[in-house]
Amino acid sequence: MAARWDMEAVRAAFPGLAVRDEGRARLYADAPAGTQVAARCLERMNRALVESCANDGGSFRTSRAAEALMLEAHAGAGALFNAGADEIVFGLNTTSLFFAFAYMLSRDWKTGDEIVLTRMDHDANVAPWLTMAQEKGVTVRWLDFSPESFEYDYAALDGLIGPRTRLVACSHASNLLGTINDVARIVAAGRAAGAVTVVDAVQSAPHLPVDVKAIGCDILCASAYKFFGPHAAVLYLAPALRDRLTPLKVRPSPAAMPWRFAPGTPSFEAQAGTLGAIEHMAGLGATLGGADPAAPLRERIVAGYAAAIAHEAELMRVFLDGAAAIPGLTLYGLSSPNRLEGRVPTFSFRLPGKHPAAVAQALADENIFAWAGSFYAQEAAGRLGIGPGGGVNRVGLAHYNTADEVRRLLGALAAA
Ligand SMILES: Cc1ncc(COP(=O)(O)O)c(C=O)c1O
């Protein structure tokens, strides 16, 4: 059975939360741009650099330890996505991984082929495909969302996807609107037409258990620095595509996973830290989510997310209640407390007569960390018409935030 949410224990697992500035606490409301790092991640990174600092492939102790750590990190990332260790590629960040895969995937695209992109996405899941489409004379079609409901018009998929569709790319959760999209539905439509399907899970992985088997996609990627880990990204690659794609690799490096799509020496410490972040979620599962500490890693991870989801729902309720009471605040995203399962705790809004940058500065003056702008969600910002006026203000919460922090944040917004 799940235990009561222990806010103090959860916060103690994030050393960054204890940092004070001239005696003032920090209020981190910048999670969608990057979360605070779990202690478990730091421990893992420290140990990697102290105890196994060598390249892999040697017969001596540190090299063997580096290789063992790399394999363990791939297995851990597999558990995070409900995939196998040999279906995982680590990279610097999601953007560079998508550019690399766009290059590899588009090698056999032909003039007159088509791809389908989705309008809510961060440009990391747009520009790589768009660039290759332009080079190859491939037509780009768009799945649009409603600027009133902040959801996709899924019925339009049938008209967008056809026999010449080579790729369908979509995002699990929007970094601007917070909407959780029905990616399984978009992927199913792409697969039915024989297209390669790509999911950007950068904004869902901090909040929901991601399951590539349930989604059914060929590629899925998330950035560890948005889920309590270091600056790195993890990509799932379905076995059929993994074996079919020609990798960008130097000739002497192994053609087997995990080396196949990892050119050059990887950041072993970032892989270790990513594993630590995943173990943090699993730790929540065992301590607060009711999972057996001896249960398989995936099971503990899912239980950890379930515990975090219940807490984040409470934070969302407090935020939405308070935001509704601020005169003239316009929220860009689902606002109903009855639709919390349809969103992550990322809230974009405008205050009447206030430039978003000025509001972000007023918050910063209170040691509240939050962003203004449109966050590289270029298509979505265009669709909403918010680009020219400085975008929006965005506050994004994570399971380490407290309801009191949300109230403090609302107070600062009301004062602004
Ligand atoms: C939804 C989404 N996708 C992709 C990215 C880019 O990730 P990275 O910085 O790892 O390239 C971001 C970053 O904010 C994002 O929010």
Where does a domain end: 242, 277, 312? Answer: 277
> Over pLDDT 90: what percentage of the chain?
98
Ligand 1 centre from 124 Cα, in Å?
A: 6
Average pLDDT value for residue range 393-405: 98
Q: In this predicted model, what pLDDT tens digit does every residue of 201-252 receive, in sequence order? A: 999 999 999 999 999 999 999 999 999 999 999 999 999 999 999 999 999 9
Mutate to test the pocket of ligand 1, among 223, 267, 379 (most ligand atoms within 8 A of CB): 223
- What residues does 40 pair with on adjacent strands? none
Structure confidence at residue 176 as a pLDDT band (50, 70, 90): very high
Structure confidence at residue 389 as a pLDDT band (50, 70, 90): confident
Cα 226 from Cα 232, distance rounded (Å): 9
Contact 224, 230 (CB under 8 A): yes
pLDDT at position 76: 98
pLDDT at position 170: 98
Residue in 341, 329, 373, 394 with CA at minimum distance from that of residue 173? 341
pLDDT at position 64: 98
Average pLDDT value for residue range 270-284: 98
Ligand 1 centre from 4 Cα, in Å?
A: 33
CATH number for the domain harbouring residue 343: 3.90.1150.10
Ligand 1 atom at shortest distance from the alpha carbon of 98: 11
Residue in 231, 236, 235, 237 with CA at minimum distance from that of residue 267? 231
Cα 184 from Cα 10, distance rounded (Å): 32
pLDDT at position 328: 96
pLDDT at position 133: 98
Same domain, 201 and 76: yes
pLDDT at position 311: 98
Ligand 1 atom at shortest distance from the alpha carbon of 97: 11
Residue in 398, 411, 319 with CA at minimum distance from that of residue 368? 411
Ligand 1 centre from 33 Cα, in Å?
A: 8
The runs of H, that is alpha helices, within 232-296 are: 239-244, 268-287
Average pLDDT value for residue range 382-402: 94
Where does a domain end: 277, 309, 335? Answer: 277
Count of structural domains within the chain: 2
Q: Phi and psi (nearest 5°) for 178?
A: 80, -5
- Give the side-chain half-sphere CA count within 13 A for 240: 7
Residue 259 lies in a domain: yes
pLDDT at position 55: 97
pLDDT at position 388: 79
Model confidence at 259: pLDDT above 90: yes
Same domain, 125 and 237: yes
Cα 13 from Cα 286, distance rounded (Å): 14
Structure confidence at residue 1 as a pLDDT band (50, 70, 90): confident
Task: Check residue 189 and give left, alpha or beta (phi > 0: left; psi -120 to 50: alpha).
Answer: alpha
Same domain, 25 and 53: no
Q: Which domain holds residue 379?
A: 7-38+297-415
Task: Check residue 36 and give left, alpha or beta (phi > 0: left; psi -120 to 50: alpha).
Answer: beta
Residue in 256, 195, 405, 188 with CA at minimum distance from that of residue 318? 405
> Over pLDDT 70: what percentage of the chain?
100
Contact 39, 14 (CB under 8 A): yes
- Which DSSP category does 351 fall into? -
Residue 167 lies in a domain: yes
Average pLDDT value for residue range 304-327: 98
Q: Phi and psi (nearest 5°) for 7?
A: -60, -40
Model confidence at 2: pLDDT above 90: no
Ligand 1 site residues, Cβ closer than 6 angstroms: 93-95, 122, 124-125, 171, 175, 200, 202-203, 223, 233
Mutate to test the pocket of ligand 1, among 94, 174, 179 (most ligand atoms within 8 A of CB): 94
Ligand 1 atom at shortest distance from the alpha carbon of 231: 10
Cα 304 from Cα 10, distance rounded (Å): 11
3-state secondary structure of 25: strand
